[in-house]
Amino acid sequence: MNIVTPSELKLGKAELNEAPWWKGAVIYHIYPRSYYDSNGDGIGDLRGVIEKLDYIASLGVDAIWLSPFFKSPQADFGYDISDYREIDPDFGTIEDFDDLVEEAHNLGLKIIIDQVYAHTSDEHAWFEESRQSKTNEKSDWYVWADPKVDGTPPNNWQSVFGGPAWEWDARRQQYYMHNFLKQQPQLNVHNPDVQKAIIEVMRFWMDRGVDGFRMDAINFAMHNRAMTDNPPSNKNFADVTRPFDMQKRIHNQSQPEIPLFMERIRSELNKYGEIFTVAEIGGDEALHEMRDYTYGNERLNSAYSFDFLDGPPISADKVRGTLGNWTGEKNEGWPSWAFENHDAPRAVSRWASPEKRWNAARNYMMVLLSLRGNAFIYQGEELGLPQGEVPFEHLKDPEAIANWPRTLGRDGARVPMPWVKDAPNAGFTTGTPWLPVDAKQAALAVDTQDGCSPCMLSFTRAAMGVRRKSDALTRGSMTFLDTHNSSVLAYMRRYEDEHYLCVFNFSDKHSHWNHHLGKGWKVVFSHDGMSDGWEVPHDLPGYSAFWAKLEK
* Residue ranges binding ligand NOJ (CB under 6 A): 76, 79, 116, 180, 216-217, 280, 342-343
How far lies 46's CA from each of 51, 116, 121, 299, 379, in Å? 9, 19, 21, 30, 15
Number of neighbouring beta carbons within 10 Å of residue 196: 10
CB closer to ligand NOJ, 281 vs 446: 281
How far lies 114's CA from each of 194, 303, 310, 398, in Å? 18, 13, 21, 20
CB closer to ligand NOJ, 49 vs 279: 279
Nearest distance from C-beta of residue 281 to ligand NOJ, angstroms: 10
CB closer to ligand NOJ, 38 vs 253: 253
Angle of helix 192-207 relative to helix 258-269, nearest 10 degrees? 30
For residue 3, the one-letter residue type is I
Contact 126, 116 (CB under 8 A): no
How far lies 15's CA from each of 21, 239, 271, 529, in Å? 10, 49, 25, 33
Alpha helices in 52-191 (DSSP H): 53-59, 94-106, 125-130
CB closer to ligand NOJ, 24 vs 164: 164
Nearest distance from C-beta of residue 14 to ligand NOJ, angstroms: 29
Q: What b/e string do you get for 164-188 counting C-beta neighbours within 10 Å, with b at 16 or more?
A: bbbbebeebebbbbbbbbbbbbbbb
Q: What are phi and psi of 85, to 5 degrees?
A: -105, -5
Nearest distance from C-beta of residue 250 to ligand NOJ, angstroms: 19
For residue 158, the one-letter residue type is Q
Number of neighbouring beta carbons within 10 Å of residue 404: 13
End-to-end CA distance of the chain: 20
Query: Closest residue (Cβ) to ligand NOJ?
Result: 79
Nearest distance from C-beta of residue 186 to ligand NOJ, angstroms: 11
CB closer to ligand NOJ, 79 vs 547: 79
Give the integer Cα–Cα distance in Å for 473 and 330. 20
Give the integer Cα–Cα distance in Å for 192 and 532. 58
Judge whether 216 counts as a catalytic residue: yes
Nearest distance from C-beta of residue 501 to ligand NOJ, angstroms: 35
Q: Which of 76, 96, 280, 411 is catalytic?
A: 280
DSSP 125: H
Nearest distance from C-beta of residue 546 to ligand NOJ, angstroms: 34
CB closer to ligand NOJ, 286 vs 540: 286
Nearest distance from C-beta of residue 180 to ligand NOJ, angstroms: 4
Strands (E), 309-388: 334-338, 374-378
Nearest distance from C-beta of residue 335 to ligand NOJ, angstroms: 18
CB closer to ligand NOJ, 402 vs 517: 402
CB closer to ligand NOJ, 28 vs 79: 79
Establish whether the linkage from the previous residue to 354 is cis, with ω within 30° of 0.
Answer: no
Q: Which of 62, 90, 122, 216 is catalytic?
A: 216
Contact 368, 377 (CB under 8 A): yes
Catalytic center residues:
216, 280
